[in-house]
Amino acid sequence: MTQGSCLCGACTYKTSATPKGPSMCHCSQCRAQSGGVWSSAYVPRSELIISGPVKWFASSPSARRGFCPECGSFLFWEAHDEDTTSFSLGSLSKPTGVTLEKHIFTADKGDYYTIADGLPQKD
């Protein structure tokens, strides 16, 4: 079972599905919302059980972001045309059993850091 929560514990989630595509996103929206890069993995939306209050924000015409309205933790990302939900790796309970596979939106990364872990980078 993979499970996690927000900082204050008001929002929790769990899934028995195997998380896929663990990555670090360097896009300007993830950096602005998280204060740095945002690491996530995804599962089928139908296999993710979310409990507690989640506020959804339409961050673009094609996607929305879910966060805890109490503590502000950025927990979820969903594309409107996909049937998956990405969840924050930083919110997972240990042990996570997840290993990063890649970096995404690296062409948009901040100029204040270097990606030097040797993982594949996708522009």
Is 41 in contact with 87 (CB distance < 8 Å)?
Answer: yes
The DSSP secondary-structure symbol of 92 reads B
Q: Each residue's pLDDT tens digit in the chain (123 positions)?
A: 999 999 999 999 999 999 999 999 999 999 999 888 999 999 999 999 999 999 999 999 999 999 999 999 999 999 999 999 999 999 999 999 999 999 999 999 999 999 999 999 999
For 52, other C-beta atoms within 10 Å of its C-beta total: 16
Please state whether the predicted TM-score (pTM) of the whole model is above 0.85: yes
Domain boundaries, the chain: 2-122
According to CATH, what is the number of the domain 2-122?
2.170.150.70
Phi (first) and psi of residue 97, to 5 degrees: 70, 15
- Residue 4's DSSP bridge partners are 13, 92
